[in-house]
Amino acid sequence: MNDSIYYSQIGGDICTCYPVHSFNITGDVITSEEPYVSVPNKALDSRCEWCFTSSNLKKCSACQVVWYCGRTCQKSDWNLHRLECQLYSKLDKDRRKSLTPSVRLMVKVYLRRKLQNAKIIPSTVTDNHNLVEALMANLVNLILQWPEISIKETAENFSKLACNAHTICDSELIPLGTGLFPVISIINHSCLPNAVLVFEGRLAVVRAVQHIPKGTEVICRVFG
């Protein structure tokens, strides 16, 4: 799944990760991952949907929910937002207020899987991890009025999202948004870590904080 780490499994579930070689220098990059889906925080200052900047923003004129800082970010997000925009444009003002970051993240999980199944955007091995499948977005039915809602599955999916999503922070640890990182979420946490998770823009980067011999479990301290 990744050139520098491999995973152990118990009962078919991936549960721990290990480096394929030693990391000898503090700061070495063990692995990195772009978010499967991400959304900016719902704060006083609006942020670009793609890069999370708060400068030179323009709101999507159709859905009135999403902001972009320019055409480059809008184009990067277009395949996904094209479908998202169609959904949000149909909502009345009160329902749009209910679009919290958590709900929007789940909408994006559902839509991205839909695009991958239709071969519109490519799938990768990590995208097909059971975590992503488990987060299919039946819960957004409450907001989008989609049929066949399962209250039990809705509660379960919200719990899984809370456990596996990560807050994306800037270099000063100021929260910018939330992302779902299927590979990063596998790494176990510890108060005595040998690695740390930081963010470079939207990119999640796991770096060594000490010598990590080959075959030693990567355990991480998370900021954010």
Number of structural domains, the chain?
2
Let me know: does 90 contact 83? Beta carbons within 8 Å: no
- Give backbone dihedrals phi and psi of 144, rounded to 5 degrees, phi first: -90, -5
pTM: 0.77
pLDDT at position 2, please?
A: 55
CATH number, domain of 204, equals 2.170.270.10
Query: Can you give the three-state secondary structure of the chain, one letter per residue?
Result: CCCCEEEEEECCEEEEEEECCCECCCCCEEEEECCCEEEECCCCCCCCCCCCCCCCCEECCCCCCCEECCHHHHHHCHHHHHHHHHHHHCCCHHHHHCCCHHHHHHHHHHHHHHHHHCCCCCCCCCCCCHHHHHCCCHHHHHHHCCCCCCHHHHHHHHHHHHHHEEEEECCCCCEEEEEECCCHHHCEECCCCCEEEEEECCEEEEEECCCECCCCCCEEEECC
Residues 13 and 81 in one domain: no
Point out the least confidently predicted range of 7-21, 57-71, 92-106, 161-175: 7-21
Residues 114 and 188 in one domain: no
- For 46-72, what is each residue's pLDDT tens digit? 999 999 999 999 999 999 999 999 999
Q: What percent of the chain has pLDDT over 90?
A: 38
pLDDT at position 44, please?
A: 62
Average pLDDT over residues 170-175: 89
Final residue of a domain: which of 164, 196, 214?
Answer: 164
86 in a structural domain: yes
Q: Is 89's pLDDT higher than 60?
A: yes
Q: Is 203's pLDDT higher than 50?
A: yes
pLDDT at position 10, please?
A: 54
171 in a structural domain: no
Tokens representing 109? Answer: 């999980």
Residues 52 and 24 in one domain: no
Give the chain's largest Cα–Cα span: 56
- For 137-158, what is each residue's pLDDT tens digit? 444 554 455 555 555 655 666 6
pLDDT at position 156, please?
A: 64
Let me know: does 11 contact 224? Beta carbons within 8 Å: no
- For 113-128, what is each residue's pLDDT tens digit? 888 888 888 876 556 4
Average pLDDT over residues 204-208: 93
Domain that holds residue 115: 44-164
Average pLDDT, the chain: 80
